[in-house]
Structure 1
Amino acid sequence: MTLVTIAPIVRAISVSMTSAEGVALLTSPEAPSVTMLAVSGMWAFSLLLGRVRGPALRSPFVTHALASSDVPRATSFRGPLLGSGTMVVALTTAVGVLIGASLVSTGHSTPSDAGLFVLASTCVGVISSIAWLAGQAMPRAAALISPVVFALGAVTSTVPEMQPFTPWGWVGLAYPVAAATGTLAPILAVTATAAAAAPALMSRLSITLLAAQAARWAAATSYATGMELAAAATVYQAAPKVGRHLRAVRPALPSPVVFLLRDAVGAARTPVRLAAAALALAAAAALFTLSLVPEWPDWALGAVAGVILFAGLGPFTDGIRHAASVASDLPLYGISDARLLTYHTLFPVFATIATLVVTTAACALLIGHAIPAILGSLALGILAVIARIGNALKGPLPPALLSPIPTPMGDLGAAARLTWAMDGVLLTALAGASAALVLQSPVLLLAVGIALTSLTIRRWRHRA
């Protein structure tokens, strides 16, 4: 991305953060606690990310050549580590600059306090990069440490007495509107210690792990280049290992129950993936409920809830993808294609409705708006399932999109291909924003629902 394309995005974010709603969020009493939770979540996510795709990674051939040589890992893989770490540090620093500049421009902070927070944000980026490397070097330990880090962050954000004794607590105390800002010394010490541990972590990288990660990343990027994002995500899908002794198909039961039980048992064979999906659905429901609170940015939270909901439905819709893949072939089970797709839709629909209703009702008891939140989340959940069906029926990239689209602003062919590849995410985000605004105008949600349903029906009729 060039500076010409980045500048409008930065300007839009700056305007939103200096608006009345943005300033109210940044200056709320909960802002330091949310910052601590976000920092701990970022470090926990970095540990898990390193297990599947670490920062010290090259192409498969170069990885094999360097990893099997006598050159130390700290030398041969230093370049990719520095490049990946620089991007992470730049991202966290940019977030700190935007928050600090917004608070300074509105008179809620001094430039010195904002500068200290920017420095703390840079330290967060450095530690995140080392945590990413630690996840790559010690995948088993990272799987155990990651939930502990996030759990401690959640506890620290609710127990103020723990803030002076945790790294994420030091970042929260450095928030520009916080009372204490003398916590940079310990966070700087942790940052220096983490950076000094990088060579030792790189020496633990085995050739087997590096080769496996390089091969999977090369395959994923190859699929992504061809706009096959679902296939790219499948490369990192965990293989089922748990519950393989459980009987998934019971022909004696009625057909809808047979397929419902089959999809449920199949999803349970990857319990971590299923648990992450359930948490994503719950998080989407909580965000959507918050979008109905007048003090929060309604449409933005609704759009984010839609995106998270679409992503979380992945493990629940494996049956839908299977039905879509065989829909154009001879019937496998002696039933029609439409009935096969309908039966495989039962499990994601029931799981989505149950998770959204329970989570939305629990959140609505705290902040109100129970009936609109439940109805809106149900509508969003159904539209997300429809988007998943349409995404499964999409098929390969149409050749017509490979031709250039010349305009006075340049070639929009790449934008058209990206829009086609991410249409499910974009439409679900639009559905989430529309559902959050349903109290003001239900017409927009109805229009999005009609457009999404029509697109899915058209793809079903024109399936290859």
Structure 2
Amino acid sequence: MNGRATAALRIWRARGLRARGDRAYLLYLGLLVLLVVAAPLVRAVWLSLTSPAGIALLASAAAPGTAALVAAVLWAGALLLGRERGPALLPPFPSYALATSGLTRADAFRSPMLRAVALLTVATASTAALIGGGLLSSGSGGAAMGAAMFVAGGALVGVIAAVAWLAGQALPRAAVPLALGVLSLGAAAAAAPLLRSVTPWGWVGLLYPGGASPHALAALTALTALAVALVAAVPSLMSRIGTAELLAQAGRWDSATVHASGMDFGAAATVYRGRPHLGRRVRAIRPLGWQPAVFLLRDALGAARTPGRLLVGVLAVASAGAILALAFAPGAPGWALGAAAGLVLFAGLGPLTDGVRHAASVASDLPLYGIGDERLLASHALFPLLAALIVVLASAAACALLAGLSVPPPLVASSVLALLAVAVRIGQALKGPLPPALLTPIPTEVGDLGAVARLAWALDGPLLAGAAGISAALLFVSPILALVLAAVLAGLGARRWRRRG
């Protein structure tokens, strides 16, 4: 490393020097979090995996195919994530200092890349160890060697995911078609066992413990060779990362972390929102004669101007409908699937509710469009409401038919979930900044709960969306839950509307 880069890094590291007591306190906090939070969480996961229902799920005939599909989804997601935030990244100042120095990208950004590889490898290997250990404890995982090979395969999956993450950063234009290809072939390999012997994600399925595959050793060898080849390509990939894109990613990540540290997660997500680029010359405001139709067309065209974001949102909404339909399957954990459906739907509605956020942002000012604030908000709520109802109902009906379930219950529950989720999104748009009152300490016998209150305020959207999913899944068991939640959302929205100014 040359003198210029060394001096820059020395200056950067000097700004964050901590005293010995501060470092000891951070170590103490880390140990407490490990003992109080991480250990009980790992124990709960282990008990869930080793329960009769968990073992039945892990030992099912579809488990190897699911493992192959999960590996494909992980690698495809890593490719897409790299387009926005790659692993070879530092804060803006050291990124600029190192990117403009005489160092190669591999030398300058080796440390963050190694951290990314270590993080993903530990995560995937730990997941594989939990699965293999759970199957071994029940006697369903075959020999211990098979479980050990699966753990090794899990570690290799993490290494490949890290390289795929870097590939998305180095090749942003090729990342999308590559990710779509990986997803398509992964789904094909999960459905057709014959394809697993010739695809990398299929090799993961062949390594699944208890699968009794005679090709497990060959699959591990092939997966190892692939990982070694990809690791050898890392310096070449890093050299393709342009300085402008590197600095842009560093700036976006720094801005997002600043917003997130202030618990403004909406602003943090806005940093990564794509710019409209499709149909910019198409007129969105047209004199249709019926005002709701004008707003409906305007919001639809506005969402279509970021087609990738819109596609992801629609797919998420469709997935929510399918997940909720599966919640009505006999023996399925309805409340858990309902909560997942609510969270997925809440995320998917983001690209569809830009108009709602715009209406909420201008509602506290003078009228800009010659109509009242209430009517403006209601008009912009039409598009996400209709889109959510159409997509959720269609996906729920299709999933129920394919799974052999009764169709009417999922349809009714999906309608309720769509209404509640749109109401949650409207409440989020009216939320505003953090109230100063929440900055007040709340001393108790167990410590200051002010941070808990601020965290609950920051995450009230996902929490309410999860509750909406649970109430929809349990609609025919306890309809009072949906009614209570609807009343809570109405009261919360009315309160925020009155305080919008």
% same residue: 52
Alpha-carbon deviation of 1:252?
4.1
User: Is the CA contact 1:310–1:425 (under 8 Å) kept in the aligned structure 2?
Assistant: yes
Q: Does 1:231 align with 2:267?
A: yes
Deviates more, 1:95-104 or 1:386-395: 95-104
Q: Which of 110, 128, 132 matches 2:161? A: 128
Partner of 1:140: 173
- Aligned twin of 1:391: 428
> Aligned pair count?
464
**Which of 58, 62, 75 matches 2:90?**
58
Q: Distance in 2 between matches of 1:32 and 1:410?
A: 46
- Is 1:43 aligned to residue 75 of structure 2? yes
* Counterpart in the other structure of 1:458: 495
Structure 2 match to 1:278: 314
Matching residue's letter, 1:220:
A
Is 1:8–2:45 an aligned residue pair? no
Largest Rg, 1 or 2: 2
Confirm or deny: 8 A CA contact 1:305 1:429 kept in the other structure: yes
Any idea what SS the aligned residue of 1:177 has? coil
In structure 2, the partner of 1:295 is 331
Query: Displacement, 1:288?
Result: 0.9
Aligned residue identity for 1:205: I
**Residue 94 in 1 paired to residue 131 in 2?**
no
Give per-residue Cα distances to partners, 1:257-289, cap 9 Å, x unaligned: 111110001011111111111000111111111
Letter in 1 for 2:146: D
Cα distance in structure 2, aligned partners of 1:413 and 1:94: 34
Match of 2:209 in 1: 176
TM-score, normalised via structure 2 length: 0.90
Letter in 1 for 2:110: R
Q: Conserved in 2, the CA contact under 8 Å of 1:21 and 1:295?
A: no
The CA deviation at 1:245 is 1.5
The two structures have a TM-score, normalised by structure 1, of 0.97
Q: 1:10, 1:107 → 2: CA distance? A: 21
Distance in 2 between the 1:196 and 1:178 partners?
Answer: 31
Rounded to whole Å, the distance in 2 between the matches of 1:444 and 1:19 is: 29
Aligned partner of residue 80 in structure 1, secondary structure:
helix
- Which stretch of structure 1 is more off in the superposition, 442-451 or 87-96? 442-451
- Stretch moving more, 189-198 or 263-272: 189-198
1:264 maps to: 300
Q: Is the Cα–Cα contact under 8 Å of residues 21 and 297 in structure 1 kept in the other structure?
A: no
Q: Which ranges in structure 2 are unaligned for 5 or more consecutive residues?
A: 1-29
Amino acid at match of 2:205: G
Q: What CA distance in whole angstroms lies between the structure 1 residues aligned with 2:174 and 2:287?
A: 42
Distance 1:375 1:215, change over 3 A: same
Partner of 1:18: 50
Correspondence for 1:78: 110
User: Do structure 1's residue 212 and structure 2's residue 216 form an aligned pair?
Assistant: no
Q: 1:421 aligns with which of 435, 445, 458?
A: 458
Superposition deviation, residue 21 in structure 1 = 2.2
Distance 1:271 1:226 in 2: 30
Correspondence for 1:32: 64
How far apart are 1:241 and its partner, in Å? 0.7
Q: Residue 437 of structure 1: CA displacement?
A: 2.1
Matched, 1:381 2:418: yes
Equivalent residues in 2 for 1:246-395, closer than 5 Å: 246-367=282-403, 368-395=405-432
1:407 matches 2:453: no
Contact 1:406 1:412 in 2 (8 A): yes
Q: Select which of 429, 443, 447 maps to 2:484.
A: 447
Q: Distance in 2 between matches of 1:345 and 1:169?
A: 44
- Cα distance in 2 for partners of 1:312, 1:385 equals 11
